[in-house]
Structure 1
Amino acid sequence: MQLKEIDKKRYRSRLNVVIVACIASLAVLSLSVSQTLIYLFPSETGSHFHWNLLGVVVSAIAVGVMLRKLKTHPKMFEVAYIWDLKHQLNLIYRKNRKLLAAAEQGNKEAMLALQFSYQGSRQLWQMDDNTITMSSLNTAQNQLDKWVEEYDVQLDISDYHSEMLKQF
């Protein structure tokens, strides 16, 4: 995955549309499915919990499938990009201790993964207006910069790919 510049305003407006559409779809679909099942298979005891639960599960699956199919639509570009970025950052975060240890020893791939993580996190936090922990990110970036200078490594985050995480 490569980092891309995206318009924050467009991202936020499209994310809001996706959230509202998902909530509305979940509500309408779950009620429709559960009410149809209750009508077709009424219970003598009056408890329809299992039909209501099935309605929610079916609608959640339907909305998930629909999001997956629409992920490649041009209007979903910004939202899908941020979802993919969060996925990549999560993969790196799971290996963070090993990456930090390897970077401290001069491993270029570890440093590259950390650099991608820091730049990606900075972009993500700015998109989501979550700048509270930016100081800890700056501290981590400064440490990485020291290692890059110490080991005389050139980092180009366009060289990053998730396959390099397998060695850690």
Structure 2
Amino acid sequence: MQLQKIDKARYRKHLNWVIGACILVLTTGSLGIAQLLIHVFPDSDGSHFHWNLTGVILTCIAIFAILKRIRHHPFMVEVVYVWELKQALNQVTRKMPKLKKAAQQGDVNAMLAMQFSYTGSRQLWTLDDNTITMEELSIWQAELDNLAKKHNVTLDIQQYSEQVLRHF
């Protein structure tokens, strides 16, 4: 995955619309399906938990199918990019202990993956207004910069790909 420049205002606006639409569809779909099932298959003891659960599950499946179908629509570009960025950062984070160890030994790929993680995290946290841990991120970045300087490595995140993580 390559990092892209994202318009924060557009991203927030589209994300809010997607979240709002999902909530609306989940609420109305779940209740509608559950009420239809309760009407068609009444329960004499008055417990309709299984029909309510079925309504929620069917609506979640429908939402997933709709999101998958419209993921390439221009409206979804920023939202899908951030979802994919979060997944890519999660992959790096799971390997971070091994990456840090290898980076200490001068492994260029480990340092490159860490650089991608730090740069991507900075972008993600800025887009989501999560600036609480930015100070820690700056410390981690400085440590990585020192390692790169020590091992005479230039880190260009344009060279990063998911294949780098397979070695760790």
Question: Which TM-score band (shorter chain)?
Answer: over 0.9
How far has the Cα of 1:65 moved from its partner?
1.3
Identity across the alignment (%):
52
Look up the match of 2:43: 43
Look up the match of 1:89: 89
Q: Give, in whole Å, the separation in 1 of the partners of 2:163 and 2:51.
A: 44
Q: Deviations over 1:55-113 (max 9, x none)?
A: 00110111111111111111100000000000000000000000000011000000000
Q: Give, in whole Å, the separation in 2 of the partners of 1:25 and 1:114.
A: 39
Look up the match of 2:100: 100
Provide TM-score, normalisation by structure 1. 0.98
- Give 2:70's aligned amino acid: L
Moved over 4 A (4+): none
Provide TM-score, normalisation by structure 2. 0.98
Q: Give, in whole Å, the separation in 2 of the partners of 1:50 and 1:4.
A: 44
Look up the match of 2:52: 52
Look up the match of 2:8: 8
- Give 2:53's aligned amino acid: L
Which runs of 5 or more residues in structure 2 are unaligned? none
Matched, 1:145 2:151: no
RMSD after superposition: 0.6
Q: Deviations over 1:91-150 (max 9, x none)?
A: 000000000000110000000000000000000000011111001100000010011001
